[in-house]
Amino acid sequence: MRKLWFQLIEWWRGSSGSSRLCDSALLNALMEHLPSNIYFKDRDSRFIRVNAAAARWFGLNRPEEAIGKTDYDLFTEEHARPAREDEQTILRTGKPLLHQEEKETWPDGTVTWVDTSKMPLLDSAGRVIGTFGISRDITEKKRIEASLRAAKEAAEAASRAKSEFLANMSHEIRTPMNAIIGMAELLLDMDLTRTPHEYAQTILDSGESLLGLLNDILDFSRIEAGKIQFDPVPFDIRERIGAMMKGLAVRAHRKNLELACCIDAEVPEIVVGDVGRIRQILVNLVGNAIKFTEQGEVVLQVGVAERERDRCHLRFEVRDTGIGIPGDKLQAIFEQFEQVDKTTTRRFGGTGLGLAISSRLVEWMGGRLTLRSELGRGSVFSFTLPLTVSDTSRAVSRYAGPPSLQGMRVLVVDDNATNRHILEQTLRGWGLAPLSVANARGAFEALERAYAAKAPFRLVLTDLHMPHMDGAALATRICRDSRFADVRVLVLSSAGFADDVARLREIGVAGYLTKPVKQSELLQAITVALGPEYAGEDHLPQGEVETSAVRPLRILLAEDSVLNQKLAVGLLERWGHQVTVAENGQETIALWEQGGFDLILMDVQMPYLDGLQATRHIRRCETGATRPIPIVAMTAHAMTGDREKCLAAGMDDYVAKPIRRQHLQQVLAGLFPPAATSPE
């Protein structure tokens, strides 16, 4: 192209000077056939010569007709004036203007677009004697661009409308759901006969699954809209995953499945990541594994795939021994609303959204969810996530075994090989010397052998539910045998049944843990069981009696819905608190001004003055002297950013509706720590 220009200029110079290239066949052909418009103008912007394409573009019969004309003769002033100004600039500066997109308006009203380059025209002495240019029709390209832009804007507007609709729907549905779930929970706490109890339980279960579905749909639409936000924080991976697995244990144990969790020793203690999202993915995968497994085990394994100083790639793997997935469905189930067999939906429930959400979340966090499966034998879902290793990892890890445990012999008894393997690995990581056996008889023999060899075991970790002789029977034999007076027995069981606890306490076991056991829990149970000052029955868990650890509070409840008022009052009064209800923001402020409250529970959407406005008002009025009153938001808005809005308004914490009593209790305990209360 450059060469062509050079030749063109040479030609021009030639034709006005020495005529060297004047009749060059090549250039004449170029002027005749090049589809782009080429033109030459004098210093007054009059055309001196144009090529055939330009003549056609100008609507002329022959190129010669252009000579002597200006843009003002061909275009409207709207185009002619700026074109003229450009040429003046080139004449003044001697510099070209390259690749400008120009709008051309013609006298008949049509509009065209060209990509144009304009350059100074020099004579043989190098003086600027005019301009010349080349332009190309880009009208179609501009039209497509404009329609794409319009389509994009329309799509964005539609997507915004969809998100808003979802947020509103979510709010509208959550409010009555709050009442349905809460009322069902209150009903279940009453002395009901069997049938009404079953009805109430069904209402609660259906309410919860409806809420789960609502959350899934909201989540999925947020991911699809690219609106998902991640909130990376440092977290203790063993604690958080351990707690999550405990939450899923009830479902697994109801089906008599072993649920195990194995976090390799090299996994760092504290990593930085969005623990909520990681939890959501794992709950989905482990939940599915439990759902689609009839017998055997479900195991979550976490290991290090790659480690470079403060970055590490953690590999998460969820294995089950369930029904498996046929080869031709391995890919499809990651799509939304896809299920292997729609006819099983009724049996297993579910919407087919879980894996679509999980795989997208994993991708957003920089990994990929993959699946291996064998029909009838089980499935393995795995993914690797890049995470930062927190520099807040403790200098002395809480997962390091204390020196006193080094080399201590421990006997592990479990009929499940995976559990034995995990326990052995964990204990060995702490410096203990574990031996594992698969049944109570083997355990007793190992104890006797060790006693005879004068290398006795100090500790037995036994599973409770085993075929032939269970853990309780084994514990009884050990505790009654004087040879094993120094042996401490810890029992691991699937479910924390109160009667198990009582029975074990009588037998004399040193501790009782529910599976899957968290590492911190196990280490604590071991040190407590071995330390003489701790040994004994004090450390048996108390069972899950729902009593509030928080002292009785005077609570101002700001809530406009009568149903929700009833629900919250019912809950709070049962925990021993005294509740005063305000119907709206103004009433809340008036009651708060009278004083005497420990806490305000503030609904966000209320008539007249909403919760955010009321909070801002209260915070403005609180001047120095008194301690600011804790305000906890209760809102049906579940979209990201609402929490921030509440905190920005001056609230201390936030509970989403439907209010889950456990969460509310946690929030109350956080604001009024039980330790800070008086012993009365």
| Rg of the chain over all Cα atoms, to the nearest angstrom | 39
Q: Does 320 bind ligand ADP (CB under 6 A)?
A: yes
For ligand ADP, the closer of residues 61 and 343 by Cβ is 343
Q: Are 38 and 31 in contact (CB under 8 A)?
A: yes
How many angstroms separate the first and last alpha carbons of the chain?
93
Q: Does 325 bind ligand ADP (CB under 6 A)?
A: yes
For ligand ADP, the closer of residues 322 and 516 by Cβ is 322
Q: Does 259 bind ligand ADP (CB under 6 A)?
A: no
Choose among 130, 131, 97: nearest CA to 116: 97
Task: Please count the residues of the chain.
Answer: 680
Instruction: Give CA–CA dist 235/271, Å, rounded.
Output: 6
* Residue 217, burial from CB neighbour count under 10 angstroms (0-12, 13-18, 19+): middle
| Count of residues that interact with ligand ADP, criterion CB under 6 A | 21
Instruction: Give CA–CA dist 50/222, Å, rounded.
Output: 57
> Minimal CB distance to ligand ADP: which residue?
350
Instruction: Give CA–CA dist 317/321, Å, rounded.
Output: 13
12, 292, 457, 484: which one binds ligand ADP (CB under 6 A): 292
For ligand ADP, the closer of residues 179 and 340 by Cβ is 340
Which letter does DSSP use for residue 278 in this model? Answer: H
Compose the 372-411 pattern: x for residues touching ligand ADP by CB under 6 A, - for all others. -------x--------------------------------
Q: Are 535 and 528 in contact (CB under 8 A)?
A: yes
Q: If you count DSSP H runs as helices and E runs as strands, how many of each does the chain have, helices first?
A: 21, 22
For ligand ADP, the closer of residues 337 and 608 by Cβ is 337
For ligand ADP, the closer of residues 258 and 587 by Cβ is 258
288, 419, 439, 519: which one binds ligand ADP (CB under 6 A): 288
Q: Which span sits near ligand ADP by CB under 6 A: 274-282, 284-292, 585-593, 636-644?
A: 284-292
Q: How far is the CB of 336 from ligand ADP (least distance, A)?
A: 8
289, 504, 558, 602: which one binds ligand ADP (CB under 6 A): 289
83, 257, 340, 365: which one binds ligand ADP (CB under 6 A): 340
183, 333, 408, 464: which one binds ligand ADP (CB under 6 A): 333
For ligand ADP, the closer of residues 224 and 338 by Cβ is 338
Q: Which span sits near ligand ADP by CB under 6 A: 264-272, 317-325, 362-370, 660-668?
A: 317-325
Compose the 447-486 pattern: x for residues touching ligand ADP by CB under 6 A, - for all others. ----------------------------------------
Token couple for 493: 């069981």
Q: Does 592 bind ligand ADP (CB under 6 A)?
A: no
Map the footprint of ligand ADP across residues 613-672, applying CB under 6 A: none
Instruction: Give CA–CA dist 494/520, Å, rounded.
Output: 18
Instruction: Give CA–CA dist 131/123, Å, rounded.
Output: 11
66, 249, 260, 323: which one binds ligand ADP (CB under 6 A): 323
For ligand ADP, the closer of residues 221 and 339 by Cβ is 339
* Residue 513, burial from CB neighbour count under 10 angstroms (0-12, 13-18, 19+): buried
Instruction: Give CA–CA dist 571/576, Å, rounded.
Output: 9
Map the footprint of ligand ADP across residues 348-367, applying CB under 6 A: 350-356
Token couple for 490: 């810890």
Cα–chain-centroid distance for residue 157? 25
Q: Are 632 and 656 in contact (CB under 8 A)?
A: no
For ligand ADP, the closer of residues 113 and 220 by Cβ is 220
Q: Which span sits near ligand ADP by CB under 6 A: 183-191, 338-346, 360-368, 524-532?
A: 338-346
Instruction: Give CA–CA dist 13/7, Å, rounded.
Output: 10
Q: How far is the CB of 368 from ligand ADP (least distance, A)?
A: 16
Q: Does 300 bind ligand ADP (CB under 6 A)?
A: no
Long-range Cβ pairs for the range 10-14 (8 Å, 24+): 12/40, 12/121, 12/132, 13/122, 13/123, 13/124
Q: How far is the CB of 351 from ligand ADP (least distance, A)?
A: 5
CA distances from 109 to 95, 105, 144, 514, 516 (A): 32, 7, 20, 82, 78
Q: How far is the CB of 254 from ligand ADP (least distance, A)?
A: 17
Footprint on this chain of ligand ADP (rule: CB under 6 A): 284, 288-289, 292, 320, 322-325, 333, 338-340, 350-356, 379
